[in-house]
């Protein structure tokens, strides 16, 4: 597994190293056990037998879990597992660009956005033939995200996404995945219009309570304990680093982190919190990371998995690996702006 490396350490990077060093041995053992679980329980076509295990979203989360720990397609210990994930998602595309195998329930755009993000993160890591196929599929899947955003909506929902490509409403949860997929695509050179990003950010901000720092599902208050990390990450990834809103959101997460425990969306909330707090850096990441590792390491099952209620072990385990490995910086989506002083 890839080790965390900090070349030419800046102040925020030194803080990252300090907090990770306190947990390094336990985290690396935990991640290795989790990846072994995901590898050995995978079917030959890349799918899984538990809840939503044939969804392109679940398969893509597993693929990103392998990537996040430094494994790559076509080479190494989990190359075959990653190749299965990629093939399954690449072969799932419909004529309209949708990445779906028919097991995503009502959350078509959730699965599609996550699958687009996964394929985009694989771009540049594969052979020329696979890259050509990735480019073709990603071109159509990214266009679908943009067209779903452009569906006429009223002012409160404009700029966001919801469950289906033709939905006329939006929610922050689905919109967070869409925005990450667009950001990843833009980093890879895709023609993602600046106006699309701005419209998405405007939607995120309409779901933000600036005084308290919280973000909500379809307003500034609903489900804030599980969605403030999502809102914070959206701002961090789109140039709002080091603002009053981001600092207040970080404080809100620290004050309310215990509220995600046993929540129906606990794994999702922790994943977004970990990503967002790492982007924020400084004391926010240090305090959250200490809490996260101490709380969740001891909750891993003997077989390497974490169960996430009705969503099953595959989902819960993939999400926990993605949360634990944020400071590895193996995925482009995990990169952070190091030009801002974060030691506050």
Give per-residue pLDDT as tens, 240-263: 888 899 999 999 999 999 999 999
270 neighbors 318 (Cβ within 8 angstroms): no
Q: Report which of residues 7 and 202 the model is more confident about.
A: 202
What pLDDT is stored for residue 113 in this prediction?
97
Q: What is the CA radius of gyration of the chain?
A: 18
Q: How far is CA 32 from the centre of its chain?
A: 20
Q: What is the mean pLDDT of the chain?
A: 90
What pLDDT is stored for residue 332 in this prediction?
78
pLDDT tens, position by position, 140-186: 999 999 999 999 999 999 999 999 999 999 999 999 999 999 999 99
pTM over 0.85: yes
**Is 236 a residue whose pLDDT tops 60?**
yes
pLDDT tens, position by position, 286-316: 999 999 999 999 999 999 999 876 778 999 9
pLDDT tens, position by position, 64-77: 999 999 999 988 89
**Is 228 a residue whose pLDDT tops 80?**
yes
Tell me the C-alpha distance between 214 and 225, whole Å: 8
Tell me the C-alpha distance between 244 and 222, whole Å: 21
**Is 139 a residue whose pLDDT tops 80?**
yes
Mean pLDDT of the region 125-141: 96
Which residue is listed with tokens 């909750």? 299
């Amino acid at each position: 597994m890839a080790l965390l490396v900090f070349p030419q350490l800046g102040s925020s990077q030194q803080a990252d190293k300090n907090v990770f060093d306190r947990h390094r041995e336990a985290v690396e053992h935990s991640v290795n056990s989790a990846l072994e679980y995901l590898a050995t329980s995978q079917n030959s076509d890349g799918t899984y037998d538990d809840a939503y295990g044939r969804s392109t979203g679940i398969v893509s989360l597993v693929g990103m879990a392998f990537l996040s720990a430094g494994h790559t397609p076509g080479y190494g210990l989990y190359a075959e597992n990653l190749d299965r994930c990629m093939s399954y998602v690449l072969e799932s595309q419909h004529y309209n660009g949708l990445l779906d195998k028919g097991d995503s329930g009502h959350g078509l755009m959730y699965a599609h956005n996550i699958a687009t993000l996964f394929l985009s993160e694989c771009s540049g890591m594969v052979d020329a033939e696979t890259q050509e196929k990735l480019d073709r599929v990603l071109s159509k899947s990214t266009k679908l995200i943009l067209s779903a955003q452009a569906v006429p909506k009223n002012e409160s929902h404009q700029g966001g996404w919801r469950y289906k490509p033709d939905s006329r409403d939006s929610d922050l949860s689905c919109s967070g995945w869409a925005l990450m997929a667009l950001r990843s695509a833009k980093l890879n050179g895709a023609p993602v219009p600046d106006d699309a990003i701005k419209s998405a950010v405007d939607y995120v901000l309409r779901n933000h309570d600036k005084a308290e720092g919280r973000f909500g599902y379809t307003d500034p208050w609903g489900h804030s304990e599980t969605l403030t990390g999502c809102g914070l990450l959206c701002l961090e990834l789109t140039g709002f680093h080091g603002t009053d809103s981001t600092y207040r959101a970080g404080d809100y997460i620290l004050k309310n982190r215990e509220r995600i425990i046993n929540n129906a969306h606990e794994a999702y909330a922790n994943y977004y919190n970990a990503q967002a707090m790492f982007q924020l850096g400084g004391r926010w990441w240090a305090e959250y990371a200490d809490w996260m590792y101490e709380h969740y390491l001891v909750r891993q099952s003997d077989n390497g998995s974490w169960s996430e209620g009705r969503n099953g072990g595959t989902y819960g385990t993939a999400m926990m690996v993605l949360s634990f490995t944020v400071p590895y910086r193996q995925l482009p989506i995990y990169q952070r702006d190091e030009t801002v002083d974060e030691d506050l």
